Structure 1
């Protein structure tokens, strides 16, 4: 019996922020995968090693966590005023689907470097030494991101002394601006707050009535108070990810929140939309020990936040959820803002399982509606491996 050889596809394996993913230039993909559809999804699933009933992704590039089961497709931008189009695919670990419903804020830090290294940016825009500004069109959500990428001797600088909690080694700082991060396409009326309220009461069967801030900024996110679900906000992954009952509770909150936000029309649709919305729980600042053993003092942060991603507690914080946190913190009266002490603020420093993170946001009211011009944070990125991935035909 004859067996076909594996396909050989140019790819780069990047760490961006606290995530890792396989990056492709659109033109390097097989013709059938250069357009959205089943062929593209099947290819990316096989690259990552999904679906894997063992939950390990041994036969692929995935790392068996939501942070490492990611793919990115980039091309020169078709959007005026932008350099590169960025499409993100969150690959399910144990199920046969790729979720295209949102962005990855962490991998956004690697988009500018990849674009420069791949020749997608006009060479005249890349200084010999200094900062290259890359204008990114985030195609999943139709938003702009501006990446400020350090350049040394005409090449992307990857090493440096910028430290990011959740990443073991320091690297070069990449500053990101998420322009107009509120989602104006999804949810009721396309509002940052799809229900029209800063805080809602909504009933979750088996859980009860919860207070929640439902926000579309960076990524659709459901914020709830930690104490309302029996937590302190200092939890690490082991306290949650091994408890099937707790995980089921969070999934129920997520699914019913998605309904309330207008992201799905029927509760059953939530199972095929795992990437969005996110669920995060907040609490006032408190002392705790991070997952690395580092002590975080209450005086080091404004509040505590823990977030769920693809059904598990995230080991640090998703970049897009950080945008949601910064945006909500800047708006007086949201649960995030109240947990941080209330009042007006231009930035917030929050504690997550791996340490702390600061994110800024510019919020103001226009005609009675809250708007955010941009959210700002710093990440780092570096190439882990480059060459080709091989995929069975």
Structure 2
């Protein structure tokens, strides 16, 4: 039996925020994978090591978590006043699925650096030392993001003293601006309400804020589900009943948000919407052993991604948190104490994160103009990734 040899593809393995992913230039992909479709999806699944019934992704670049099972494809932007076209794929660990329906806010922090290093940013716009503002077209959701990348001696600066909870080592700070962060072309609140009564079969009626900002997200109150908001990963991810409850809430919330027609479709669309639960501040010990004092945060938030409690916070969900916190009356805003605010510091399993957002009511409808947060990013490895030639 003759087997096709491996093919090698130029790639860069990068950390962005609290996530890791394999970055490609579109032009470097095999021709058959340069267009969306089955060949591209199969190639990227094989790169990551999915689908893997063992859930380990041992035979690929994935790290067996939603935060490390990601791919990015970049190309020069054809949009006016943009430098780079950014396409993100969330690769399922155990299913043959690449979900292209949303963005990854964490990996966005690495997109600017990759764009500069790949020649997608005009050299005249890159200072000898200072900040290079990379204008990103986020193709999954059709939005503009600006990454402010530090430059030293004409090159991207990756090292620094900026500490990000959920990331072990400090690095250079990259400020990210999510412009007009309402997801897609829909309303910021797709149901028209800041808070809904969400009727979930087998669970009951829950208060929920459902928002399209950064990524469609469903927020519920921790106490309604018997939680305090101080939970770490093991408290949720080791409880199959709890995970099933959160998935049921997510599925029925997705229907109410108009993202899917029936709850049964949610299993094939794991990346969106996200589901999170909020609570008022309490003291707790983060996963690293760090003590988080209630006095140092505005609220507690725990969020699930791809069916598991996230070890820190997804960047796009942080945009949703900041935007919802800026709008009086949402569950997020109420957990933070209510009233008007343009930034919020929240506690997550790995520590804390501050995010700023601007929102305003126009003719009775809330709109968000931008959300801002800081992240860091660096190259972990660069060269070629190899996959069996018969896999795509």
Normalised TM-score (structure 1)? 0.98
Cα deviation 1:174-227 (Å, max 9, x = unaligned) = 000000001243xxxx21000000000011111110000000000000000000
Q: How far 1:4 moved relative to its partner?
A: 1.6
Is the contact between residue 142 and residue 184 of structure 2 (CA under 8 Å) also seen in structure 1? no
- Say whether 1:194 aligns with 2:186: no
Matched with 1:52 is 52
CA distance in 2, matches of 1:75, 1:61: 22
Instruction: List gaps (5 residues or longer) in structure 2.
Output: none
CA distance in 1, matches of 2:183, 2:173: 27
- Say whether 1:245 aligns with 2:241: yes
Q: How far 1:298 moved relative to its partner?
A: 0.2
- Residues 338-349 of structure 1 aligned to structure 2 (within 5 Å): 338-349=334-345
CA distance in 2, matches of 1:373, 1:192: 11
Q: How far 1:39 moved relative to its partner?
A: 0.4
Q: How far 1:3 moved relative to its partner?
A: 2.0
Cα deviation 1:323-361 (Å, max 9, x = unaligned) = 000000000000000000000001000000000000000
Matched with 2:129 is 129
The DSSP-based 3-state class of the residue aligned with 2:105 is: coil
Q: How far 1:268 moved relative to its partner?
A: 1.5
Which stretches of structure 1, 4 residues or longer, exceed 2 Å deviation after superposition?
A: none
Cα deviation 1:2-59 (Å, max 9, x = unaligned) = 2221010000000000000000000000011100000000000000000000000000
The DSSP-based 3-state class of the residue aligned with 2:223 is: helix
CA distance in 2, matches of 1:90, 1:6: 24
Matched with 2:21 is 21
Matched with 1:265 is 261
- Residues 164-313 of structure 1 aligned to structure 2 (within 5 Å): 164-185=164-185, 190-313=186-309
CA distance in 1, matches of 2:361, 2:260: 28
Matched with 2:116 is 116
CA distance in 2, matches of 1:80, 1:268: 40
Q: How far 1:61 moved relative to its partner?
A: 0.1
CA distance in 2, matches of 1:366, 1:176: 25
The DSSP-based 3-state class of the residue aligned with 1:387 is: strand
The DSSP-based 3-state class of the residue aligned with 1:345 is: coil
Normalised TM-score (structure 2)? 0.99
The DSSP-based 3-state class of the residue aligned with 1:72 is: strand
Give the root-mean-square deviation of aligned CA atoms. Answer: 0.5
Is the contact between residue 184 and residue 192 of structure 1 (CA under 8 Å) also seen in structure 2? no
CA distance in 2, matches of 1:392, 1:32: 15
The DSSP-based 3-state class of the residue aligned with 2:67 is: helix
Instruction: List gaps (5 residues or longer) in structure 1.
Output: none
Match of 1:325 among 306, 321, 326: 321
The DSSP-based 3-state class of the residue aligned with 1:198 is: coil
The DSSP-based 3-state class of the residue aligned with 1:211 is: strand
- Residues 55-134 of structure 1 aligned to structure 2 (within 5 Å): 55-134=55-134
Match of 2:379 among 354, 358, 383: 383
Matched with 1:147 is 147
